[in-house]
Chains A and B, each alone.
Chain A
Amino acid sequence: DVKVTQSSRYLVKRTGEKVFLECVQDMDHENMFWYRQDPGLGLRLIYFSYDVKMKEKGDIPEGYSVSREKKERFSLILESASTNQTSMYLCASAWIGSGNTIYFGEGSWLTVV
């Protein structure tokens, strides 16, 4: 079974703190994604990566950065957390190709106070 593992399930951080969300997948997928999910807005893409050290901005990249140093690991970084970044963050991975299944992690609930 494909496994996408997110390092933290629940986090509470203070405004201005630097936050790291880690994601690891075990299926050698080229594509990895970070989404945030908010009520009424659905899933919105923050960044994705199609290869090691490659990254592309999604719909809402402002306030976020990412790192992909190894194929299996994709990190989301909030350089200076703000209260409007309180959300559920979901990592996903998939093989390249539009006919392939996308696999999600369990999600990380981030609260910024």
Chain B
Amino acid sequence: KNEVEQSPQNLTAQEGEFITINCSYSVGISALHWLQQHPGGGIVSLFMLSSGKKKHGRLIATINIQEKHSSLHITASHPRDSAVYICAVPFTSNQFYFGTGTSLTVIP
């Protein structure tokens, strides 16, 4: 049973395309995190959000708490956006559930 489901698992896009990655979760949460991992690299936090929408450059994250769903959008995608994107939700003050990640490849 996965408390956090991401889709799609893999995504290939042409440079400049608009990209959407989805995350659904089954537990009650106070906040949801979007994380990014470049090939061979560590993981960095992109967003933490508990309601509405957040924007950082070409990245936009939205969350609907009632529907238990979040989306990460990338506008005008670029090859440097190629990475694994991971959705994470805390379920205690110490622990997180993680999605298995969406592997994005942006082709020039």
Kindly state the separation between the CA atoms of A56 and B92 in the bound complex, as whole angstroms: 13
Question: A interface, how many residues as a size bin?
Answer: 20 to 34
Interface pick from B12-20, B59-67, B74-82, B97-105: B97-105
Query: A31 touching B94 by the CB < 8 A rule?
Result: yes
Contact A102–B33 (Cβ < 8 Å): yes
Interface size on B, residues (CB 8 A): 25
In whole angstroms, what is the CA distance A48 to B96 when docked? 11
* Given A98-B29, A105-B42, A42-B92 contact (CB < 8 Å): no
Decide: A101 and B94 in contact? CB cutoff 8 A.
Answer: no
Closest residue of B by beta carbon distance from A4: B42
Instruction: Tell me if A42 and B100 are in contact (CB < 8 A).
Output: yes
Choice from A41, A48, A101 contacting B95 with Cβ under 8 Å: A48
In the complex, chain A residues whose CB is within 8 Å of the CB of B41: 106-107
Tell me whether A96 and B93 are in contact (CB under 8 A). yes
Give chain A residues whose Cβ lies under 8 Å from the Cβ of B42. 90, 104-107
Rounded to whole angstroms, the CA-CA distance of A44 and B48 in the bound complex is: 20
User: Are B86 and A42 touching (Cβ within 8 A)?
Assistant: yes
A80 CA / B92 CA spacing, docked (Å): 32
CA A90 to CA B45, docked complex, whole Å: 14
Partner of B43, one of A31, A41, A56, A104: A104
- Choose from A40, A48, A106 the contact partner of B94 (Cβ within 8 Å): A48
A residues 39-93 in Cβ contact with B at 8 Å: 40-43, 45, 48, 50, 56, 58, 90, 92
In the assembly, what is the distance between CA of A107 and CA of B38, in Å? 12
B33 touching A40, Cβ below 8 Å = no
Query: CA separation between A106 and B41, bound complex, in Å?
Result: 6
Residue of B nearest to A50 (CB): B94
Chain A 93-113 against B: per-residue CB contact (8 Å), 1 yes, 0 no?
000111111111111000000
- Counting CB contacts under 8 A, is B106 at the interface? no
In the complex, the 8 A-B pairs of residues with the closest C-beta atoms, listed nearest first = A98-B90, A106-B42, A42-B100, A104-B43, A43-B98, A99-B31, A98-B30, A101-B45
Q: Interface residues, chain A, CB within 8 Å of chain B?
A: 31, 40-43, 45, 48, 50, 56, 58, 90, 92, 96-107
